[in-house]
Amino acid sequence: MKQIFLNSMLVIFSLPLFSQQFEIESYQKTPEIFQQLLKSNDYISKNDTLNELLVDLVQPQLSDSLINRKKQHHKLGPVGWLISTFGNFNWRAFSMKKEKFVGTVVRISRSGEEQFTEYDVNFDINFHLHKYLHRVFEMYDRQGKIKRQDFTSKGKIDFKASPFVRDTNNIDIRSYRLHCELTPQREYRPIMNYFFLPTLPGAGGLKQHVNLENDNPTMGFYGVLCLDCNHSCHPEMHPYEWIWWLKANDGDNGTQKEWHIGLFHEGSNRMKKWSKNPKNGSVKIPFVFEADEPATIEIQHGAVNEFVNEAKLMAPENVIKSQSKQLNVTLKGRDFSKNIALNFVNPINTKGLNYWFSDLNYDAANGLVSGYFNYALSVKDLYTCKIVFGK
């Protein structure tokens, strides 16, 4: 009898602790781009423009999205100030508001060792979406107006040729790279290397990492746009603080969608006015489910340091806490309801991390429900996560 009681208690504690309800907000035809999330990952991988459109659906925010310092420079005691003031060696803000860019990775690089406090994990991206391509045009135009340090390791820069002069009817997007740069916190680079993306010397490229398995993935970045006038004033995002991607590779005929997101504080002492901690932010991740099929969302926390419970999060009142391994959510509408099982691989009990659903739409004609799964978090230096939308 005692054993039966214990077994019953184990069953009770293994069940979802509660079910939370979110209201359907609209009943329109599912946007075409959301419907593309039902395609196989192989199909998406073979179309860079489509991949970028899907990754562009993600909407990141930061509470410190506005910056108030136009320049940053190397912090080498009085030397850093001198070379910035009299030599104009510095980073110059291109925009006083942090921005989002989505593109396809064409080159990665990272430092072999730390130099002073710098250890760079870099991505160069090209753009198939015109809004980002045209934005980076403006950055090259600004570089062309400054015209300094026109000798690089590749020779003299020709400011009368592409990318500074262009025929908009005949654009080679390979000429318009944006260099995205970050120094992660020193003590978290090994765990980032394991749980998120390659950060250590000798760790291999993106293709060798289980979260990517692709040399040229599509990725999104959110951070400070600037011109690096330590190196010819070329366009950069430095630092990037949000980074995300949809894992979609050739030969993967599956349709479940595996997203990876990361939020970071710049770990060097170069960008103290452009990247502050704690990092208070939110991010919206798109999804679409067939209305009559089972639906699951699996959340696995990766590299994480200290959450800040006191911080004000960008979240509504109706939020989900990840205090148990499994819970049910109901999307409720007119004559329609959809149950979603949320599975937390490694739940974290903290006030500094909340979830909710928004922009919910039920398309009865096509039998689809779509919307956004939202994160809001306050963390001292970094947070990474894998989210899988499946059946």
For the stretch 303-327, pLDDT in tens is: 999 998 765 677 888 899 777 899 9
Contact (Cβ atoms closer than 8 angstroms) between residue 258 and residue 247: yes
Sheet holding 59-62, edge to edge: 59-62, 279-290, 368-379, 353-363
Give the residue ranges of DSSP H helices in the chain. 2-14, 32-35, 41-45, 48-56, 78-85, 130-146, 189-195
Q: What pLDDT score does 85 carry?
A: 53
User: How many domains, the chain?
Assistant: 1
Q: What pLDDT score does 12 carry?
A: 36
274/352 Cα distance (integer angstroms): 22
**Residue at 374: amino acid letter:** N
Q: Using the structure block, give the residue that is written with the tokens 């026109």.
A: 150
pLDDT reading at 13 higher than 70: no
pLDDT reading at 388 higher than 50: yes
Other C-beta atoms within 10 Å of 273: how many? 14
Tokens of 47: 């179309």
Enumerate residues 6+ apart whose C-beta is below 8 A from 302: 191, 192, 195, 196, 262, 384, 385, 386
pLDDT over 90 percentage in the chain: 76
Phi then psi for residue 10, to 5 deg, are -65, -40
Average pLDDT in the chain: 90
288-304 per-position pLDDT tens digit: 999 999 999 999 999 99
End-to-end Cα spacing for the chain: 37
Cα angle at 107 between 252 and 249, to 5 degrees? 5
Lowest mean pLDDT among 14-28, 244-258, 329-343, 353-367: 14-28
pTM: 0.91
pLDDT reading at 88 higher than 50: yes
176/155 Cα distance (integer angstroms): 18
Q: What pLDDT score does 114 carry?
A: 82
Query: Could you tell me the residue range of the domain that residue 226 belongs to?
Result: 2-390
In Å, the largest CA–CA distance within the chain is: 87
pLDDT reading at 328 higher than 80: yes
217-274 per-position pLDDT tens digit: 999 999 999 999 988 999 999 999 999 999 999 999 999 999 999 999 999 988 999 9
| DSSP helix/strand/coil, 189 | helix
28-67 per-position pLDDT tens digit: 999 999 999 999 999 999 999 999 999 999 999 999 999 9
